[in-house]
């Protein structure tokens, strides 16, 4: 069996203090590194969440646009609405017809 060697006196106290200091410094260094890594991850998560929210708003905008375009396409299949749309949007007219455009 190995025996523990006890160093007595001032030298023994110095080694105990040095060992304690070493472990305290090591604990502080590991804690700082851990906080740095966690902090970096938190910033990355926040940026990713912001980007996801932005993309979801963009998706919702596109879905609304698709819905409006689908309704417009469905209405344009009707000849009466097609004629009304062409007259209102592009100021089209029939031959011999006068159109007066009144702006609001």
Q: Is residue 61 part of a domain?
A: yes
Query: Range of 79's domain?
Result: 10-90
User: How many independent structural domains does the chain possess?
Assistant: 1
Residue 80 is assigned to a structural domain of this protein: yes
Give the predicted TM-score (pTM) of the model.
0.53
The two tokens of residue 48 are 């990713």
- Let me know if residue 35 belongs to a domain: yes
Question: Is 104 within the bounds of a domain?
Answer: no
| Integer Cα distance of 62 and 24 in angstroms | 57
Q: 49-75: per-residue pLDDT in tens?
A: 999 999 999 999 999 999 999 999 999
- Domain assignment present for 96: no
| 101 vs 82: which has the higher pLDDT | 82
Rounded Cα–Cα distance for residues 63 and 52 (Å): 16
In a domain, 99, yes or no: no
């Amino acid at each position: 069996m190995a025996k523990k060697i006890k160093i007595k006196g001032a030298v023994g106290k110095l080694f105990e203090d040095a060992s304690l200091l070493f472990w305290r410094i090591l604990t502080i260094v590991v804690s700082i590194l851990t906080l740095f890594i966690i902090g970096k991850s938190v910033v990355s998560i926040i940026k990713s969440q912001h980007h996801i929210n932005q993309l979801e708003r963009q998706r919702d905008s596109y879905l609304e646009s698709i819905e409006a375009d689908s309704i417009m396409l469905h209405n344009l299949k009707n000849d009466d609405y097609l004629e009304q749309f062409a007259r209102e949007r592009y100021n089209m007219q029939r031959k011999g017809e006068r159109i007066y455009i009144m702006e609001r």
